Structure 1
Amino acid sequence: MQRPPTTVTLVCSAVLLLAACGGNEDTERPSTPAGVTARAGSATSVHVMWNQSSDNKGVTGYEVYEQGDKVMSLPATQQMVDIDRLTPRTVYSFTVRARDAAGNLSEPSAAISVTTPEATPDDRKAPTRPANLSGRAQGSRAVTLTWARSTDDIRVTAYDIYQEDSRIHSVSGTQTSARVTGLRPGTVYTFTVRARDAAENSSPDSPALDLTTASAPGEGPSTAPTGLTATARKGTIELSWTPPDSGAPVKEHQLFLNGALATTIVWGAEPPTGTATYTMTVTDEPGTRYSIKLRAKLPDGKWGDFSAQRTVVVV
């Protein structure tokens, strides 16, 4: 028997379908990004920074333009970027626009001009390592860093700030301090700095610096292992650290190499008290670089915060 056609009535829900039914559509633009700066990091790169924009519903991203042409799209959490593959001895003009979830774009920021320096293709000597890296946390989401000036046979054009081997910020070669924002509360960060010249030669890493941001209101103490050391021996790497104070013995740790899970370290019924140690066998060629960090399994079964990261070279 043929069934009669079904009639479907679409009712606009004041909560779920407001926009679809034509009500309260978001047409408001985010605020225009302010504080835009642009500095040449080398003969072929420029570092662009700006302040956070605001929106009635929330900023979802930023777009960077060069002479009106979009060259980069970024998430809302990022307010700095390196523009690479540029031409030496060339003037560039950058603007930034904020974007919200409805696709509304802010007005372009004020245009900032910058000139890339002349290339030095015969320059193969890297700057010296930045020394005396120090810093402090500024609340729960920012840190300030300072270091001693590097030298170069021609000129240092930029200092690059790295967090766990990823470049997150750059300043000009005349600066010896930086403020890093957009961090997470109650988190340990490991920073290093490298000097760079116009030929893109980079110095060795500065000594590493661990900084922990303040916890957010209502959060408990950090659950990260502390005091991690990594020492390369012939065919092995020896690790030592202090497990977090979790209120119960910590029986498991996860070991990460170069950002990927390598192994789970499990003790029996009686895990070590105080300092824990572990020796890992390595078969890679001398000179191989490892980035190492740990996290502990907490009594509630969840994995805690990551320790500071350590970098070690196989001998």
Structure 2
Amino acid sequence: MRRSTAPTLALCLALRLALGGLAGLTGLTACTAPDTRPPPAPAGLTAQAGSATTVHVMWDAAADRDGVSGYRVFEGDRLVRELPAEKTMVDVTGLAPQTGYAFTVRAEDAAGNLSEPAPAARATTPAAKAEDRAAPTAPAANTGRATGPRAAWVSWTPATDDTGVTAYDVYQGGVRIHTAGPGESGTALSGLQPDTVYTFTVRARDGADNSSPDGPAVDVTTPPASGDGPATAPAAFIATASPGAVTLAWTAPDTGRETTEYELYVNGRATTVIQFGAGAVPSGRVEHRLTVAEPTGTEWAVKLRARLPDGNWGAFSAERRITLVA
């Protein structure tokens, strides 16, 4: 992890005196105290046994203002995983059946300061079932509704299994985002984006980690936020036609991470995904040049949107109309 390289106040004052007094540091970096303030402990920590040998641990994402760069997951006093800031869940594997465990998480910032541990979340793994190869049935029906701009509630009907269901996994876009207990028939989801359509599915899991097929998909549309939270649309979008080309420029949305993909729409239809490779991801102002072969005088209405950290596309930019030139 990165450590603070800021000079201590004592060293900085000594440098100033050596260079001719407190007023003689023109052009040098100002003295600042090192960052020694830890971030707050992660909130919302939960642990749910998913099988006889695994436990799914989840917690709430830190606020941007906390400056969290990663998380450390502990089982008792034992460090079991280190994760980047965008990851707020993990499967802890290799556990023993019919055993109780206590998990906690500490946040870390870029200066290496560790938060206090979150209050421990406890889970007990079920008994192992020998030669259990039969997966549970899929939850027969799913329902969902938005409970706010950034939250939703998803529910399902119970599944059946020859040895018993041990967990329900909620998926969005093929990615597991939540795990609920065997006695639950619904769960709250948070960390969503306003004004976005989400498609959720649910799978049942048994003690041998056999997963059912997906239950029926359910669409949930979150309402727009009332001014809170960062905008997801690319800003200050412009499009300029030149002979044989179109140049697009915009300001990347502040999504908490670098944005590597943008979907371009021309005349109301998705035409391509603009991708930036590792080491070439732009921040702030972005520019991209398209080579075009359409005839002179062709009119385009163009807009684009960014792929967000949760895998969904964000809001569209403003639409710009241009006429292609030779």
Matched, 1:203 2:212: yes
Instruction: Specify the code of the residue in structure 2 equivalent to 1:126.
Output: A
Offset of 1:129 from its aligned partner?
Answer: 0.9
Offset of 1:29 from its aligned partner?
Answer: 1.3
Q: How many residues align?
A: 234
Offset of 1:56 from its aligned partner?
Answer: 6.3
Partner of 1:128: 137
**TM-score of the superposition, structure 2-length normalised?**
0.61
Alignment of structure 1 residues 1-315 onto 2, 5 Å: 11=25, 17-18=29-30, 21=31, 23-53=32-62, 57-217=66-226, 249-254=267-272, 299-303=301-305
Tell me how far apart the structure 2 counterparts of residues 56 and 102 of structure 1 sit (CA, whole Å).
15
Offset of 1:105 from its aligned partner?
Answer: 0.5
Tell me how far apart the structure 2 counterparts of residues 159 and 252 of structure 1 sit (CA, whole Å).
35
Contact conserved, 2:153 with 2:186, CA < 8 A, in 1?
A: yes
Q: CA RMSD in A?
A: 3.6
Tell me how far apart the structure 2 counterparts of residues 102 and 213 of structure 1 sit (CA, whole Å).
36
Contact conserved, 1:63 with 1:96, CA < 8 A, in 2?
A: yes
Tell me how far apart the structure 2 counterparts of residues 12 and 200 of structure 1 sit (CA, whole Å).
64
Partner of 2:280: none
Tell me how far apart the structure 2 counterparts of residues 147 and 136 of structure 1 sit (CA, whole Å).
12
Change (3 A) 1:145 1:13: farther
Contact conserved, 2:159 with 2:165, CA < 8 A, in 1?
A: yes
Offset of 1:69 from its aligned partner?
Answer: 2.0
Sequence identity percentage: 48
Tell me how far apart the structure 2 counterparts of residues 157 and 136 of structure 1 sit (CA, whole Å).
25
Tell me how far apart the structure 2 counterparts of residues 213 and 12 of structure 1 sit (CA, whole Å).
53
Change (3 A) 1:13 1:169: farther
Offset of 1:55 from its aligned partner?
Answer: 8.5
Change (3 A) 1:88 1:132: same
Contact conserved, 2:267 with 2:302, CA < 8 A, in 1?
A: no
SS state at 1:300 partner: strand
Report Cα offsets for 1:74-107 as digits up to 9, x if no partner.
3334433221232222332211111122211011
Gap regions ≥5 residues in structure 1: 1-8, 222-245, 256-267, 270-297, 308-315
**TM-score of the superposition, structure 1-length normalised?**
0.63
Report Cα offsets for 1:109-166 as digits up to 9, x if no partner.
2333322111112222211110221111232222110111111112100001111111
